[in-house]
Amino acid sequence: MKRFQIPRGTADILPEEAELWNYIEQVSKDVFKRYSYREIKTPIFEYTELFQRGVGETTDIVEKEMYTFEDRAGRSLTLRPEGTASVVRSFVDNKLYANPDPTKLFYIGPMFRYERPQAGRTRQFTQIGVEAFGSTDPSIDAEVIALAMNIFQEMGLKDLRLEINSVGCPVCRPTYREKLVTYLNGVKEHLCKDCQSRIDRNPMRVLDCKVDSCQAATKEAPTIHQHLCDDCQTHYDQLKTYLNDMGIEYVENPRLVRGLDYYTQTAFEIKSEGVGAVGTICGGGRYNGLVEEMGGNDVPGIGFAFSIERIALALKSENVPLNLHQGLDVYTIALGEAAKRLATKVTYELRNNKLSAEMDYLDRKMKAQMKAADRLQAKFVLILGENELKEEKVILRNMGNGEQQEIPLQSIVEKIIQIAKA
């Protein structure tokens, strides 16, 4: 019989790893709540045009990486490759812009990109991200960056590097683009094939290429900082002031442009040494024209995203001490059919009273059941046998210090709850 294998670029998240994922999600949600961000859930697939328009037709994502298919009615659908376009679509579709205050949202869910699998990067990955709509003030840019740094620091990560840049706006970028294209055409023969094709379509992406020859060829390329308009320069300077006031350390990186077309002004990345050659665990920035491009009003926005897979790698690389498995409250050992009936009832009632409880389902001997309790890191073991039932009492053993006590049969649940929660 054929044995099925998992598709390339995907992974089974087994229980131990799932506990780490749950930890990452829970820390993120706790911080989101403190910053007044509320959760939004969007469909896993959308009409293909949404990503072509929202992400940008000249991006690697749209050109090479999307999982696109036709449904039975011949409509082109795409598994979402990133979260922002879907959230913006929902923001416009559901008229969330009617809220007088900034709309602050977060999302958690699977994304899909057809690319070469590598450390921390799979074809199906889980992304956590935020989007804040309604303000052009650089103070909210600083808040979004602070939020991301807060999450990672609260998880226990220490080896972090924040890089920031301004990528300008439609007012100042055309002049810079013209000078950059002239420079790139002069070094075109030294660029990789992808970057050669980007010169006319998306020249700023060339600066972000990780190929050694491209980095060397663009070393003297003009930077956007030399061409920012007054508004963009003021916005960028104020952002740095806010970050300085909050004591958040950063490095200015004029080559940081991010990979999506919709970014304007603020762009940032957070890096860690523990996730492979690239090192980026989080990226984001401002997208002031995207909501209007997607059919909405002229509403500014800013956000970021990170994948759980990369954060998990970083946590493991830094050997962050995490006590993820809290162990079991009570393991019930039953010896004999009558004892098993009582154990089933007691275990059910303990669970109903918010205690984690487990029992044996394999009719093993007491020694084997004790080993199972130990593997599950049970704090207490409840021993039910024929003798105990005859004497109308049970034995409760503290697995931490080995102490045992007898509990009357008629008050098992009440006593265990009292002892376990003490």
Classified as helix, coil or strand, 404 is strand
116: pLDDT confidence band, cut at 50, 70 and 90? confident
Query: Would you say residue 128 lies in a domain?
Result: yes
Dihedrals φ, ψ of 363, to 5°? 55, 45
Both 306 and 337 in a single domain? no
Both 306 and 366 in a single domain? no
What CATH number has the domain bearing residue 410? 3.40.50.800
Is the per-residue pLDDT at 60 higher than 80? no
Is the per-residue pLDDT at 58 higher than 70? no
Both 276 and 363 in a single domain? no
Both 310 and 403 in a single domain? no
Q: Do 123 and 9 touch, CB atoms closer than 8 A? A: yes
Both 284 and 363 in a single domain? no
Query: What is the rounded average pLDDT of the residues 400-405?
Result: 92
42 burial type by CB count under 10 A (0-12 exposed, 13-18 middle, 19+ buried): middle
Query: Would you say residue 31 lies in a domain?
Result: yes
Query: What is the rounded average pLDDT of the residues 311-339?
Result: 90
> To which residue do tokens 């508004």 refer?
231
Check residue 209 and give its pLDDT. Answer: 83
Is the per-residue pLDDT at 57 higher than 60? yes
Number of domains the chain is built from: 2
Q: Among the ranges 52-56, 223-227, 249-253, which has the highest mean pLDDT value?
A: 249-253
Both 23 and 80 in a single domain? yes
Both 288 and 403 in a single domain? no
Which of the listed residues 291, 317, 343 is the one where a domain comes to its end? 317
Query: Would you say residue 51 lies in a domain?
Result: yes
420: pLDDT confidence band, cut at 50, 70 and 90? confident
Domain, as residue range, for 253: 15-172+228-317
As a whole number of angstroms, the distance between CA 417 and CA 218 comes to: 67
Question: What share of the chain has pLDDT > 70, as a percent?
Answer: 98
Is the per-residue pLDDT at 325 higher than 60? yes
Which of the listed residues 267, 296, 317 is the one where a domain comes to its end? 317
Both 49 and 130 in a single domain? yes
Distances (CA, A) of 322 to 18, 140, 196: 13, 32, 46
Check residue 259 and give its pLDDT. Answer: 61
Task: Please calculate the CA angle 404-410-411 and round it to the nearest 5 degrees.
Answer: 55
Query: What is the rounded average pLDDT of the residues 155-160?
Result: 92
- In whole numbers, what is the pLDDT of the chain averaged over residues? 91
DSSP 3: P
Q: Do 389 and 378 touch, CB atoms closer than 8 A? A: no
As a whole number of angstroms, the distance between CA 374 and CA 82 comes to: 43
Between 421 and 173, residue with greater pLDDT: 173
Question: What share of the chain has pLDDT > 90, as a percent?
Answer: 68
What CATH number has the domain bearing residue 43? 3.30.930.10
Q: Please, which residues bridge with residue 163 across strands?
A: 251, 269
Amino acid at position 122, single letter? T
Query: Would you say residue 222 lies in a domain?
Result: no
Check residue 260 and give its pLDDT. Answer: 64
pTM greater than 0.85 = yes
Please spell the DSSP secondary structure of 54-99, one letter per residue. Answer: HT-TTSHIIIII-EEEE-TTS-EEEE-S-SHHHHHHHHHHTTGGG-
Q: Please, which residues bridge with residue 312 across strands?
A: none
pLDDT in tens, 255-287: 888 766 678 999 999 998 766 555 899 999 999
